[in-house]
């Protein structure tokens, strides 16, 4: 089920005013990916990109086509590891965060 425009706008507004929410959304996406839940990870990453940098700017940073990045994170998208990891690296750099794994498989930003 696609998200409504109001919901997307709400997420974007909250991410703009609340850095903890923004980083939390990114963290949740990473936790999903590291827990072998690619579908949830893609949805959360797509929400994070839409609420922060946007696909146009991210595509410029990565020297990729924005539509290609959007397809990667779509429900039917099957991103290659190198492209997904490059995207995560750019987003981490823009957000100014790093992630680390702990023994209990928790992820901390």
51 falls within a domain: yes
43 falls within a domain: yes
Q: CA-CA distance, 10 to 17, in Å (whole number)?
A: 11
Q: CA-CA distance, 99 to 64, in Å (whole number)?
A: 24
107 falls within a domain: no
109 falls within a domain: no
Q: CA-CA distance, 88 to 53, in Å (whole number)?
A: 12
Q: Determine the length of the chain.
A: 109
108 falls within a domain: no
Q: Which long-range contacts (CB under 8 A, 24 or more apart) does 53-57 make?
A: 53/91, 53/94
> Residue 27: which domain range?
5-102
82 falls within a domain: yes
Q: CA-CA distance, 50 to 46, in Å (whole number)?
A: 6
Confidence (pTM): 0.84
For the chain, the domain total comes to 1
How confident is the prediction along the chain (109 residues), in pLDDT tens digits per residue? 455 678 778 888 888 898 899 999 999 999 999 999 999 999 999 999 999 999 999 999 999 999 999 999 999 999 999 999 999 999 999 999 998 877 665 566 5
15 falls within a domain: yes
């Amino acid at each position: 089920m696609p998200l409504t425009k109001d919901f997307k706008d709400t997420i974007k507004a909250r991410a703009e005013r609340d850095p903890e929410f923004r980083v939390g959304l990114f963290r949740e996406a990473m936790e999903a990916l590291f827990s072998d839940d690619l579908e949830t990870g893609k949805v959360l990453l797509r929400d994070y990109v839409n609420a922060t940098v946007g696909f146009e700017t991210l595509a410029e940073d990565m020297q990729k086509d924005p539509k290609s990045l959007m397809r990667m994170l779509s429900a039917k998208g099957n991103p290659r590891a190198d492209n997904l990891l490059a995207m995560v690296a750019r987003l981490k750099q823009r957000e100014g965060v790093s992630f680390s794994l702990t023994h209990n498989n928790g992820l901390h930003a």
